[in-house]
């Protein structure tokens, strides 16, 4: 199914993100820096709320999953063992005329050839076959046929650590992790030895990952620096299918609970699997351009721990406490990009309504995710009694919730601003408030207003927010 939410264009989302302080392009004053984005005051709140909601479901509510925060830099052999140094490539094609670099698998996709995980050599064979059928292979950007053959292009970002004199020696090469799970595998034994976990159990981590993406595209969907939220679940092979199905359901339901409509999600089964994988599915979201990958839920067999055991020489097997049987645990993972998730939730929340001939833009976030929970306004900014009372309310509420105080412009404009950042409730102090000790509370979605006694406001908000 192609996109049906045709008013929710990516351009509108990008523009709102910039205009309202969610996401900014990196290094703008220096002319920009491709494929990196910065998160502004509302973006960071939303990102934190999403991460917290994920952590709550994956770690806090479960006895069998624990958390971890491992370093971005790791022993370089980690990436030799994992296969990233030898095989983490995206074949690329360069246009000799306009110099644009294109992902070769994306070019073949246009001819309905699934080139996911294909190496450059195989891609070039496919291109030859197309040419034999007189199919022209052209640059997507300028239409030129003057293209290089596909070449493998490593996605792993290199750096150097150490003293300035030997910083350039090969020995000091380190890698910025291309995925967070490497740190989980390297700490699996530490966690086994220091906590009470027993198989089956999971380790979850949220952190930065880096990939030298050839073509970063679609705003924050694919960037060179991003955050991943990953959970690796260690189990005995016989438990795999049951646990895998359980986690698939948990992750699907989580999106629905936090406000994604089921019709905007779909499963994609991987037809081409990594050699160690038995089954892999992605959850796809209906982004403004089409359904596209949001989260991966994959079976990984015993590949990761076996490889790290082989390369490090450390014993990474597990001893069953009852039978004393020893084995290398198998792993299933859930892996999602936090930034990509933020984009999905932005797209889902973005709503336009026609109110008396004017377009009202609202971000209809689930209240738990909204960056600001309550905005407090004095009706007029030049009436000190109103400002004082509004400030008192704000000072009280901010102890518990992310709140905003706003006395700028007319009330209508202040409501619109809060609608555009998704604030569920606006509290206004007016002249009646001074006499009756009550306020108006206005609902973001219905725009209905209700009067509430100030002493009951805290209880009302608690009941209605969560
Ligand atoms: P793709 O095929 O899109 O390059 P992938 O299948 O290599 O992605 P995984 O390695 O499975 O992705 O990563 C797990 C998750 O991490 C993805 O589902 C996505 O949400 C996120 N992710 C991966 N690469 C990026 C990126 N460059 N920018 C933002 N998020 C990313």
- Domains of the chain: which residue ranges? 2-74+178-348, 89-154, 372-465
Pocket test for ligand 1, best of 340, 342, 345 (most atoms within 8 A of CB): 340
Residue of 283, 295, 305, 184 whose CA lies nearest to 237: 305
- Ligand 1 contact, 177 CB (< 6 A): no
- The 10 Å Cβ neighbour count of residue 451 is 12
Q: What is the largest CA-CA distance in the chain?
A: 85
Non-local CB neighbours of 414 within 8 Å, separated by 6+ positions: 375, 377, 406, 408, 426
Q: Which residue's CA is minimally distant from atom 11 of ligand 1?
A: 296
Q: What is the pLDDT along the chain (466 residues), one digit of tens a residue?
A: 344 458 999 999 999 999 999 999 999 999 999 999 999 999 999 999 999 999 999 999 999 999 999 999 999 999 999 999 987 778 888 888 888 888 888 888 888 888 877 888 888 888 888 888 888 778 878 888 888 988 888 899 999 887 655 555 566 899 999 999 999 999 999 999 999 999 999 999 999 999 998 877 799 999 999 999 999 999 999 999 999 999 999 999 999 999 999 999 999 999 888 888 889 999 999 999 999 999 999 999 999 999 999 999 999 999 999 999 999 999 999 999 999 999 999 999 999 999 999 999 999 999 999 999 999 999 999 999 999 999 999 999 999 999 999 999 999 999 999 999 999 999 999 999 999 999 999 999 999 999 999 999 999 999 999 8
Residue 93 burial (CB count, 10 A):
26
Task: Indicate the fold that domain 89-154 takes in CATH.
Answer: SIR2/SIRT2 'Small Domain' (3.30.1600)
Give the tokens for residue 61.
């509510």
> Which pLDDT value is given to residue 170?
63
Q: Is the pTM of the predicted complex or chain greater than 0.85? A: yes
| Buried residues in 257-277 as b, exposed as e (16+ CB within 10 A) | ebebeeebbeeeeeeeebebe
Q: What is the pLDDT of residue 277?
A: 85
Beta strands in 40-140, from DSSP E residues, in sequence order: 65-68, 92-94, 101-103
In 3D space, the residue among 271, 72, 89, 284 whose CA is nearest the CA of residue 175 turns out to be: 72
Terminal-residue alpha carbon distance, the chain: 34
Sheet with 438-443, side-by-side order of all strands = 403-405, 374-378, 425-429, 438-443, 449-453
Ligand 1 lined by 334 (C-beta under 6 Å): no
2-26 burial, b if ≥16 CB within 10 A, otherwise e? Answer: eeeeeebeeeebbebbeebbbbebe
Q: For position 2, what pLDDT does the model report?
A: 45
The verdict on the CB of residue 8 being under 6 Å from ligand 1 is: no
Q: Which CATH class is domain 372-465?
A: alpha beta
**Using CB atoms within 10 A of its CB, is residue 321 exposed (0-12), middle (13-18) or buried (19+)?**
exposed
Atom of ligand 1 nearest to the CA of 292: 3
From 458, 185, 215, select the one nearest 303 (Cα to Cα): 185
What contacts 77, CB < 8 A, 6 or more positions away? 311, 312
Question: At the top level of CATH, which class does the domain 2-74+178-348 belong to?
Answer: alpha beta
Quote the pLDDT of residue 52. Answer: 98
Structure tokens at 59: 């770690």
Q: For residue 401, give the DSSP letter.
A: S
d(CA 162, CA 392): 53
Cβ 211 under 6 angstroms from ligand 1: yes
């Amino acid at each position: 199914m192609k996109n049906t939410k045709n008013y929710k264009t990516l351009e509108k989302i990008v523009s709102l993100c910039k205009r309202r302080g969610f996401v900014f392009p990196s290094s703008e004053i220096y002319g920009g820096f491709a494929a990196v984005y910065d998160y502004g005051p509302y973006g960071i709140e939303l990102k934190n709320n999403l991460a917290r909601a994920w952590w709550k479901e994956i770690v806090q509510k479960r006895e069998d999953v624990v958390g971890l925060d491992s370093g971005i830099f790791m022993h370089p052999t980690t990436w030799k063992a994992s296969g990233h140094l030898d095989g983490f490539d995206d074949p690329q094609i360069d246009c000799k005329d306009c110099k644009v670099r294109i992902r070769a698998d994306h070019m073949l996709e246009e001819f309905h050839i699934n080139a996911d995980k294909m190496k450059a050599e195989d891609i070039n064979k496919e291109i030859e076959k197309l040419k034999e059928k007189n199919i022209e292979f052209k640059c997507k950007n300028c239409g030129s046929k003057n293209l290089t053959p596909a070449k493998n292009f490593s996605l792993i970002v290199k750096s150097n650590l150490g003293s300035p004199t030997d910083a350039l020696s090969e020995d000091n090469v380190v890698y910025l992790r291309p995925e967070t799970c490497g740190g989980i595998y390297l700490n699996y034994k530490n966690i086994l030895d220091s906590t009470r976990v027993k198989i089956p159990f999971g380790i979850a981590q949220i952190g930065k990952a880096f990939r030298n993406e050839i073509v970063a595209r679609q705003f924050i969907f694919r960037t060179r620096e991003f955050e991943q939220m990953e959970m690796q679940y260690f189990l005995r092979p016989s438990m795999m299918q049951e646990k895998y199905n359980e986690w698939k359901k948990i992750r699907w339901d989580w999106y629905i609970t936090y406000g994604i409509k089921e019709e905007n999600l779909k499963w994609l089964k991987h037809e081409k699997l990594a050699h160690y994988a038995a089954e892999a599915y992605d959850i796809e979201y209906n982004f403004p351009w089409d359904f596209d990958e949001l989260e991966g839920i994959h079976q990984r067999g015993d590949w990761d721990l076996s490889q790290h055991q082989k390369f490090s020489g450390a014993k990474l097997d597990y001893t069953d406490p009852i039978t004393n049987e020893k084995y290398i645990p198998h792993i299933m993972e859930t892996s999602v990009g936090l930034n990509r998730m933020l984009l999905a939730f932005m797209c889902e929340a973005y709503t336009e309504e026609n109110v008396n001939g004017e377009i009202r833009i609202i971000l209809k976030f689930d209240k738990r995710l909204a960056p600001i929970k309550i905005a407090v306004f004095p009706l007029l900014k030049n009436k000190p009694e109103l400002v004082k009372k509004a400030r008192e309310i704000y000072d009280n509420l901010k102890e518990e919730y992310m709140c905003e105080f706003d006395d700028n412009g007319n009330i209508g404009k202040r409501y619109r601003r809060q609608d555009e950042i998704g604030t569920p409730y606006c509290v206004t102090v007016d002249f009646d408030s001074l006499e009756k000790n009550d306020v108006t509370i206005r609902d973001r979605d219905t725009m209905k207003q209700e009067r509430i006694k100030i002493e009951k406001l805290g209880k009302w908000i608690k009941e209605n927010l969560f």
